[in-house]
Amino acid sequence: MLEACLLPSIIFINMLLLEEILKIKKLMNLNESKMNKDNLFYEFDYSQFKDVPPPSDDSEKTKEELKYLKSINLDKLFVQEKDDMLGTFMEFLDDNKIDYNKKFLKKVYDDMYYVVLDLKSFYKRPRPFRLDPTLTDSMLDSMEGFAYPSGHSTTSNLLCMILSYLYPKYKKDFSKLCNDITYSRQMAKAHYPSDIDFGKKLATSMFEYLKGNDLIP
């Protein structure tokens, strides 16, 4: 009888362990891929970004940021729609019949994330809802892991800069897409404003690296 009662709990625990193992394997694969010379950012020096720590969990700055996040009303549909960063930009490009290099944008999206994951792992800043359990109205798969820097901010800002460089006519449109994406992450309580700001600074450096090394076709 006791064994029958414990069985569901054991199965649940094993499922959680399996999920964590799969996550670790995924991160290991990402880190291994980063070492591949085919990665666009293989020679990108981001060591300076390991000298800019986020506000501490118990700092007044973090308390202010949490208060700000609580003031934002949640629109779950908006958050879900903007979760797909690359898709958001590609949809705009397709709708406006802009001829663009889809393969290159996908590679930028894939390759830059290894830098972001390394910095997230380095700083290990907990998500806002980890510090304040009341901030759990919207939970997405992309909200797992650490907060600093914001991957959505880094990605959307980098795509915005690249596309604005290639298609300056649509610069304001790309900026709006980027702003919507970064705001959606704060609306979802997935990121502090300082995560967003740090992601933008990282994206700026990554863009200058791509442009300076003639890596933007």
**pLDDT tens string 98-121:** 999 999 999 999 999 899 999 999
- Same structural domain for residues 5 and 106? no
Q: How far is CA 107 from CA 10, 120, 159, 217, in A?
A: 41, 20, 11, 12
Same domain, 28 and 47: no
pTM, entire model:
0.81
pLDDT score recorded for residue 3? 46
Q: How many CA atoms lie within 13 A of 43 on its CB side?
A: 8
Average pLDDT over residues 31-41: 70
| 179 occurs within a structural domain | yes
175 and 88 part of one domain: yes
| Co-location of 181 and 198 in the same domain | yes
pLDDT of residue 21: 43
CB within 8 A of 73, min separation 6: which ones? 187
Nearest to 148 by CA among 187, 201, 188: 201
Q: Where are the beta strands (DSSP E) in the chain?
A: none
Q: Which residue has the higher pLDDT, 128 or 119?
A: 119
Q: Domain containing 16: what range?
A: 1-35
The answer to whether residue 34 scores a pLDDT higher than 60 is no
- Rounded to whole angstroms, the Cα distance separating 57 from 65 reads 11
Q: Are residues 106 and 166 in the same domain?
A: yes
Of 8-12, 29-33, 147-151, 202-206, the least confident:
8-12
